[in-house]
Amino acid sequence: MSRRHGLVEGKTVVVTGAARGVGALLARRLAARGARLALVGLEPDELKKVADSLPGEAAHWHADVTDHDAMAAAAAEVEEHFGGIDVVVANAGVATGGPFLDSDAGSFDRVIEVNLLGSVATARAFLPALVRSRGYHLQIASLAAVTPAPMMAAYCASKSGVEAFAHCLRGEVGHQGVDVGVGYLSWTDTDMVRGADEDEVLRDMRARLPWPSNKTYPLAPAVERLVAGIERRSPHVYGQWWLRGMQSVRGALPSLVTGPLGRREMRKLAPRLAATREARGGLVGAGGAADERTRALRETRDA
């Protein structure tokens, strides 16, 4: 892939988690710039809708990012179909919320599996093709990688992990012509965030976070920033303008967010959390529901 800025026309871009939200809009924005899109995810009907809506060449593959065999097969088929792969965006992710001691162990572990180990499986499957094309790999992380927050243990742990993983990859494959970037997003208007906001206790606690981390931001501007980062093959891409500034103060953030402020807010919310404990548990949003259906089918098949 050429290192000239803005040149994605005619290039093949793989996007995981492309059925909705960030992945779907990212595919549309890249296709509008002339890229060819390979969409990977769990929801074949939704993936087909996205692929069919794109102006240029596009195809979709049904694969669970945590399944190494399925991802390896998808990578081989994508490369054969398009004749090469220039960009991979590891975007697939799920979330759950609430106090760790109240969390469902299966859902908690699944967040780690999809967000962290799924990103590892994605890189393992697609990096060889990027080495051949001297391409670009963008790992979607989060503000959650920059600062931890109460009631987000699984998500924060997984996104901190993928950030570190991507930084390690950058050092390992840079000499082979592959650039690796990390994309950071704050609370962005997606099914995942809307699903999390259905829990009013979690929603109220988020509203008490320090500005500007307590707002939900529109999806389109964040995706445009991701597209610009892909065009520049940037090492860091920020979906909201202020996230760049968080890097310089991230060392102080844990003591602020999880120190006295976090303890005070958890103490206030404790009665409400106890009263709503039974209603809390699974993965949030439509993407989370799709992942849970896939897991249930697999467990039934394997039984």
CA separation (Å) from 249 to 35, 94, 136, 239?
36, 27, 28, 18
Using the structure block, give the residue that is written with the tokens 């060392």: 251
Report CA torsion sign: 272, 98, 286, 140. Answer: positive
Q: Let me know the angle formed at the C-alpha of 252 by 162 and 142, rounded to the nearest 5 degrees.
A: 25
CA 27/CA 16 separation, integer angstroms = 10
Look at residues 15, 66, 74 and name the one whose alpha carbon lies nearest to residue 39: 15
Q: How far apart are CA 54 and CA 31, in angstroms?
A: 6
User: Around Cβ 183, how many Cβ atoms within 10 Å?
Assistant: 27
Given 136, 155, 184, 217, the catalytic residue = 155
Q: Is 238 known to be catalytic?
A: no
59 vs 68: CA distance, rounded Å: 20
Q: Which residues are catalytic?
A: 155
